[in-house]
A and B are shown apart, each in its own frame.
Chain A
């Protein structure tokens, strides 16, 4: 196998401020936001929309956010943290830029009414060869804490950018 040199530079790692906490972003887990989110998914389950159903049927006697709700409080998806511009400047033809993976672990339920503070840290840039050429994954981790400072969740997410190394980008 031919070893091809990395296309990820120290400047790119610097641009992502790897290992550094990128400020705090605070979001309220509003009932109307949860309702809009569940409705957008097309999920009619009353435990997401009706306080009484949630209290009676749910596991916590409270209305909790649906499992994938954490993503609405991801400062990268909302572009409050916007450090991935370096992906536009890698000097090869880009074949794809899309979401790669999203993972969450909850340590306590995220309840309606919680005020969640999120800190984001880019932890690494993974580089590998795939179907769409050389793939670059800027991996970020979020820590979600509630209004009492308690750990609620941690997430690990990444986009993927692919590059055709046989084609330099037209200038």
Chain B
């Protein structure tokens, strides 16, 4: 995997997108790893009874994919210092989701080379279901 340096980043540049479609197995695996036991993510009759069309993806699973998109793009020598996501619409298993991002700012602060990213997830219909922002410290060439 290559490493991105601060000097290489242009404000406005898009981050290579990451596509994911979650199976119900993945939702349960994420549950087990994250220790979040809300039944809307694994209990189909319960999810239906509270008004969802299916079990729904954990917001933090989608957040995890957005974080993976950032590491895949920038390389291993980075540190994600700030990371936030908000959930506007639910997502369901097997819909193909696309994680996307764009550089909105770059600056050097207290000796750290930082880039700010706008990040979001689109569902199969192209609707933005999740949006957020991240501040990432990159290595510099000089």
A101 and B85 contact, CB distance less than 8 A: yes
- The answer to whether B83 touches A99, judged by C-beta atoms less than 8 angstroms apart, is no
Size class of the A contact interface (CB-based, 8 Å): 35 or more
Q: Are B58 and A99 in contact (CB under 8 A)?
A: yes
Pick out which of these stretches binds chain A: B8-16, B24-32, B101-109, B120-128: B24-32
Q: Min CB distance, B29 to chain A, in Å?
A: 4
CA distance A78 to B38 in the complex (A): 9
Give the chain B neighbours of A104 by CB distance below 8 A: 82-84
The answer to whether the Cβ of B51 comes within 8 Å of any Cβ in the partner chain is: yes
* Interface residue? B59 (CB, 8 A): yes
- Interface size of B in residues (CB-CB distance below 8 Å): 44
Interface centre among B26, B75, B86 (most CB of A within 10 A): B86
Residues of A within 8 A of B68 (CB): 41-43, 45, 66
Contact of A106 among B82, B85, B90 (CB under 8 A): B82
**A71 beta carbon closer than 8 Å to chain B:** yes
Dominant SS at the A interface? Answer: mixed
Measured CB to CB, the closest approach of chain A to B104, in angstroms, equals 16
Please report which residues of chain B, range 38-94, place their CB below 8 angstroms from some CB of chain A when the two chains form the complex.
40, 50-51, 56, 58-61, 63-65, 67-68, 70-72, 75-87, 90
Q: Which 9 A-B pairs have the closest CB atoms?
A: A103-B84, A40-B33, A57-B76, A67-B80, A101-B86, A99-B59, A41-B64, A67-B67, A77-B36
Which B residues have a C-beta under 8 Å from some C-beta of A? 1, 20, 26, 29-30, 32-37, 40, 50-51, 56, 58-61, 63-65, 67-68, 70-72, 75-87, 90, 134, 137, 139
